[in-house]
Amino acid sequence: MPDDPRISRLLELLNGSLSQDKLEVLSREFEALAQDRNDTLVFFVLQHVAQRLTSALEGEAVDYVRFVELTAGMADGFCGILVGLQHGRTVTADLEALVINLFQNLGLYRA
């Protein structure tokens, strides 16, 4: 199965650490993909996860340790799901793991 150029660009964006700017771009791109793909639910969930992370970072200065706690494992989760889609895999379990990771990280963030 050939790689989807839009997903490939997102995978390139996910190289390195996450930032608020990257999360905002991911949120917009996932929303656009949700509107024109068969995998609407997958991209809808990805968009909301990225948006939730962005919301947690807005409006206040976040120190580095808290930022790392908040974003821990999220880039890998996004990548795993996108690669799974590229290879035609079912990613339901990966989506669930990403959402669980999000809620765990948000719990750490609020501690």
How does DSSP assign 35-95, residue by residue? HHSS-HHHHHHHHHHHHHHHHHHTTS---HHHHHHHHTTHHHHHHHHHHHHHTT---HHHH
Let me know: does 88 contact 78? Beta carbons within 8 Å.
no
pLDDT at 108 over 90: no
Q: Look at residue 111 and tell me whether its pLDDT is greater than 50.
A: no
Q: What is the mean pLDDT of residues 74-85?
A: 97
- Please say whether the beta carbons of 38 and 62 come within 8 A: no
∠ at Cα 71 (50, 44), nearest 5°?
20
Is residue 87 over pLDDT 80? yes
Q: What is the pTM of this model?
A: 0.91
CA neighbor of 103 nearest in space, from 73, 62, 63: 73
CB-CB neighbours of 56 under 10 Å: 21
d(CA 29, CA 32): 5
Does 44 or 63 have the greater pLDDT score?
44
Q: What is the pLDDT of residues 1-40, one digit of tens each?
A: 467 899 999 999 999 889 989 999 999 999 999 999 888 9
